Amino acid sequence: MASEDRLSRWIRRTARTAFVSAFLVVLAGSIVRMTGSGMGCPDWPKCFGLTIPPTHEAQVRWQPDAPYDAGRMILASDSLWVAPADHRSGSAFEADRATGLWTHYKRHDYAHFNPFHTWVEFINRLLGAFAGLPALLLAALTATLGWRHKKWRPFGFAFGALLALGFVAWLGKKVVDGNLIPGSITLHMLGALAILGLQLAALKAAGAGAPRITRASRKWLLLVCLLTLGQLIFGTQVREAVDHLVHAGVARQDWLEILPSWWTAHRTAFWALLAAHGAWLWPGLKSGKPTRWEVAVLLLLAGQFATGVAFGALGMPAIAQPVHLVLAFGLVLTDGWLLTAQPLR
């Protein structure tokens, strides 16, 4: 029993570490979106064919009499080119291209280099890779728990999170190859949410203490969770509509006027979300002794409201976008975690 308890404690610690690591990736991804850095690295998993991304433009421009490894990418003639094999360049790019030392990159036609965008995207990928380490350790520890003590439920959630992590990594490659295909971006976000949710489930299955809320509040939680998730997905569709405007070269200050009229339904739906939360929060607030979880939900809702107002009043400021997304993730996950709550009174 002592061995089982010790292993369960390690699982809970690892699950928390994995969750925080994955949430940092979500934050980094939102910053990538805010800064428009999604194509800062035009290939995957390398960046311009390099393990360490370029820092200045000379590194992505053709140079005479220079060694190039297979897969190395350069910008030339307003296009992206890739080296099919190791070679040393000659005296002129056109001559090298004519002899097949460079071939036109066919996966997409994005041919720009911005060192800031490149490194923002690279750091996002690096955080994603590091997030895989505690996720892998969590799967190993929960497998040990299942093997030694016949408790396989935590492993099921941890393994599911690991699969979701692999899916998100694969989808990340597809998103880059497709130059940020809109539908793939939404799937990427939902995959990240699945990772976080499964890691929380593994934490709970390994014996983490359940939150406690009022019995009267708990009956509203399933509806609240569904509405919150729906609002998050709706918000990604608004973001995808914004992406179309960005690709079309529309200035930020003109986004609200040009967005499809249906985007305002996302703003209106917040009031339904607020009302549903109000229904389950009311018993705790009325008692004068709200739990820390109820206070946390109130703060998340207030943050969502404030950033939503900023979108409309300030023309969708860039800084509000990652904050809005992270708060939305926090609200969905908090509502979901509270579904496991024990009645307090």
Per-residue pLDDT of 224-269, as tens digits, reads: 989 999 999 898 888 888 877 877 778 888 888 888 888 889 989 9
pLDDT-derived band of residue 157, with 50, 70 and 90 as boundaries? very high
Residues 13, 126 within the same domain: yes
Residue 127 domain boundaries: 1-40+115-209
- Pairwise CA distance, residues 117 & 173, whole Å: 17
Residues 202, 126 within the same domain: yes
Report residue 77: phi and psi, to 5°: 55, 40
What is the enclosing helix (H) or strand (E) of 106?
A: none
- Of 80, 113, 146, which residue is a domain's last? 113
Residues 168, 268 within the same domain: no
The tokens for 136 are 């892998």
For the chain, the residue count is: 345
As for how many domains the chain has, the answer is 3
- Of 113, 130, 146, which residue is a domain's last? 113
Residues 14, 73 within the same domain: no
Residues 274, 215 within the same domain: yes
Instruction: Report whether pLDDT(345) > 70.
Output: no
Instruction: Report whether pLDDT(107) > 90.
Output: no
Cis status of the peptide bond prior to 53, with omega within 30 of 0 = no
- Pairwise CA distance, residues 166 & 195, whole Å: 10
- Pairwise CA distance, residues 107 & 85, whole Å: 18
Residues 49, 72 within the same domain: yes
Task: Identify the residue with better confidence: 198 or 291.
Answer: 198
- Pairwise CA distance, residues 206 & 151, whole Å: 9
Task: Identify the residue with better confidence: 212 or 263.
Answer: 263
Residues 34, 80 within the same domain: no
Domain with residue 198: its CATH number is 1.20.120
Q: pLDDT value at position 183?
A: 65
Quick one: average pLDDT of 203-217?
78
Domain with residue 87: its CATH number is 2.10.10.20
- Of 62, 88, 113, which residue is a domain's last? 113
Residues 96, 145 within the same domain: no
Q: Which of 223-259 are b and which e, b meaning 16 or more Cβ less than 10 Å from the residue's Cβ?
A: ebbebbbebbbbbbbbbebbbeeeeeeeeeeebeeeb
Q: pLDDT value at position 263?
A: 87
Residues 34, 132 within the same domain: yes
pLDDT tens-place string over residues 13-45? 999 999 999 999 999 988 888 888 888 999 988
Residues 57, 178 within the same domain: no
Residues 217, 272 within the same domain: yes
pLDDT tens-place string over residues 295-313? 999 999 999 999 989 988 8
Report residue 235: phi and psi, to 5°: -60, -35
Residues 193, 152 within the same domain: yes
